[in-house]
Amino acid sequence: MKIINGFCAVLLNKYMSSNIRLISRLDIKGPNLIKGVHFEGLRVLGDPNDYAKKYYIDGIDEILYIDSVASLYGRNNLSDILIKTVSDTFVPITAGGGLRNIEDVTLILRSGADKVAINTAAVKKPALISEVANKFGSQCMVISIQAKKISNNKWEVYTENGREKTGNCVMEWLTKAIKLGAGEVLITSIDKDGTKNGCDKELVKAVSQVSPIPIIASGGIGNLNDIEEIIQYSKADAVAMGSILHYKDYTINEIRNFLSKKDINVRTYENY
Amino acid sequence: MKTINIIDYGLCNIHSVKSAITKLGYKPNLINNINGLPSDSKIILPGVGSFANGISRLEEMGLIGSIKKHIDNQGHFLGICLGMQMMFEKSSESKNTKGLGIIKGEIDLIPNQYMNKTHKVPHIGWNKLTIDNNFSKSIVKNDYNVYFVHSYMAKDVDSNNIIATCEYNHIEIPAIVKYKNSYGCQFHPEKSGETGLDILKSLLDI
């Protein structure tokens, strides 16, 4: 195997990008997995660790924990959930929700998260993005953007779990966050979250047109065609799924097989 | 029960590595000093973070010389992700910071263009490994995927030091490297499902 300047000596015919990642999104409140609609009307579903373990066994590519009440230092905090999850779940974990500063980020990474997703604190203090990227690397710094449609092809950034308007335009904020060192973007449509009514595919498409970093699309996925569309049409690199997995509409295998048949590259999963 | 020493320098997903080691039936032992460890000790250097930060932490803790000595004396060593990258001579990540210099080659940004086509950096996701024939059977039995998350990669590495590569948009990325009895993984075996655990076990049992 000879490597010349990092390029393959032999050119291969197939354009190989990374496989599309299938992510289970687990929204947490205290010790519980919850799910709301448009971030409201939260319903308790069970123990997040049980769900994470089950998704791992079923072949999920990644796990995303979002702490909806940002109870980082209270009882049953996100760090405790992470420590428990990594004891039997051997796939990457991104964690976010209420991370305010570099100390919070350090704690969460030491508890077993591989990446952190930051929304509110990054909007309040954009320098935090650079601070995280400099200390832990860009690949670790996921900029989480909660977007609400305000007119055709225009979306506004919201913080505090969709409660606070910021007046920032999503595309401008994203561009700035990338310059500051964000390595991945988690884009959640507030309008679609929890509805299972389909994603905001124009939002994700607009994001992919300005983003040189990988995109995780979240919010609204209700069926297999929604997943295909957000990948093929909107060009997402990863899909975060909540309700359709939690309510057992599809298994991860069904999703994987469906995408494979549509010629979308997914991870080959070992059925141990 | 065999003990696996994990260097804890404050910059890594220490819990994940610890859990993987426990799951494999070894006893994880967090250490911040390797002086006094028997020469047949197995040591893991994990790492999430930037190259310069990693190296300066190792310097502060006085680990640079002792890690080099351990490896030179045929000691067993496994660097993961940043831990692997730091085994090389230098990195362009922060003003050409010097690395441990155990393996010839340097760490540089993954090119984001190939034939006028732009692709995503960081490289985040599951890719297949191409494993050197001499190692393939002992390391992994199948062609399942492993998880990568990185913006930088090893360049100008002698083929003798490469055990496995992965292909990312026509770029061949060194995925497992070796020198003497030391190994480095660019991907995260502790985060690559049961396949990753298999690879971790084979690299620890070598």
pLDDT digits (tens, 9 = 90+) for B40-75: 999 999 987 789 989 999 999 999 999 999 999 999
Per-residue pLDDT tens digits for A244-266: 999 999 999 999 999 999 999 99
More confident position, A69 or A142? A142
Computed over every residue of chain A, the mean pLDDT equals 88
Per-residue pLDDT tens digits for A92-148: 999 999 899 999 999 898 888 999 999 999 999 999 999 999 888 888 999 999 999
What is the extent of the structural domain holding B52?
3-205
Find, among A174, A183, A17, A18, the residue nearest to B49 by Cα.
A183
Residue A232: exposed, middle, or buried by beta-carbon count in 10 A (0-12, 13-18, 19+)? middle
Q: Which residues of B touch A270 (CB under 8 A)?
A: 142, 144, 193-195
Q: Which residues of B touch A91 (CB under 8 A)?
A: 147, 191-193
Strand segments, DSSP code E, in A30-151 are 32-37, 40-46, 62-67, 93-96, 115-118, 141-151
Whole-number pLDDT of residue A88: 93
Give the start-to-end residue ranges of the domains of chain A. 19-261
Contact criterion met (CB < 8 Å) for B151 and A214:
no
Task: Please tell me which residue in B12, B81, B166, B185 is annotated as part of the active site.
Answer: B81
Q: Which helix (H) or strand (E) holds A201?
A: helix A201-210
Kindly report the CA angle at B131 between B129 and B135, in degrees rounded to 5?
Answer: 140
Find, among B175, B174, B121, B146, the residue nearest to B20 by Cα.
B146
Model ipTM value: 0.89
**Which of the four CATH numbers 3.40.1260.10, 3.20.20.70, 1.10.3720.10, 3.90.230.10 does domain A19-261 have?**
3.20.20.70
Overall pTM surpassing 0.80 (yes/no): yes
Beta-bridge partners for A220: none
Tell me the CA end-to-end span of chain B in Å, nearest whole number.
Answer: 16
Computed over every residue of chain B, the mean pLDDT equals 91
Q: Does the pLDDT at position B143 exceed 80?
A: no
What percent of chain B is modeled with pLDDT above 90? 72
Kindly report the CA angle at A232 between A230 and A233, in degrees rounded to 5?
Answer: 70
Residue in B191, B198, B201 to test binding to A, most A beta-carbons within 10 Å? B191
Q: What is the mean pLDDT of residues A211-227?
A: 94
B180 in contact with A, Cβ within 8 Å: no
Residue B83 sits at φ, ψ, to 5 deg, of -60, -35
B23 in contact with A, Cβ within 8 Å: yes
Distance from CA of B105 to the nearest CA of A (A): 11
Whole-number pLDDT of residue A14: 35
Buried b (16+ CB within 10 A) or exposed e, A14-45: eebbbbbbbbbbbbbbbbbbbbbebbeebeeb
More confident position, A268 or B25? B25
Q: Does the pLDDT at position B169 exceed 90?
A: no
Supply the DSSP symbol for A251. -
Contact criterion met (CB < 8 Å) for A19 and B145:
yes
Q: Establish whether B166 is a catalytic residue.
A: no
Whole-number pLDDT of residue A70: 67
Q: Establish whether B81 is a catalytic residue.
A: yes
Confidence of residue B153 (pLDDT cuts 50, 70, 90): very high
More confident position, A88 or A75? A88
Residues with Cβ within 8 Å of A34's Cβ and at least 6 positions away in sequence, in order, are: A27, A28, A42, A43, A44, A45, A68
Whole-number pLDDT of residue A123: 96
* Residue in A140, A238, A270 nearest the CB of B48: A140
Give the three-state DSSP class for A177.
helix
Window B:136-175, CB contacts with A under 8 Å: 142-145, 147-151, 153, 155-157, 159, 162, 165, 167-174
Q: Does the pLDDT at position B138 exceed 80?
A: no
Per-residue pLDDT tens digits for A44-57: 999 999 999 999 99
* Residue in B15, B108, B132 nearest the CB of A112: B15
Contact criterion met (CB < 8 Å) for B82 and A137:
yes
Per-residue pLDDT tens digits for B35-46: 889 989 999 999
**Weakest-pLDDT range from A65-74, A81-90, A235-244:** A65-74
What is the dihedral sign for C-alpha B142, A54, B200, A110?
Answer: positive
Q: What is the mean pLDDT of residues B108-122?
A: 85
The domain that contains B32 carries what CATH number?
3.40.50.880
Contact criterion met (CB < 8 Å) for B120 and A5:
no
Contact criterion met (CB below 8 Å) for A46 and A75: no
Contact criterion met (CB < 8 Å) for B48 and A87:
no
What percent of chain A is modeled with pLDDT above 70? 90
Q: What is the mean pLDDT of residues B120-132?
A: 91
Number of domains in chain B: 1
Whole-number pLDDT of residue A4: 39
Q: Establish whether B15 is a catalytic residue.
A: no
**Structure token digits, residue B98:** 């010097």
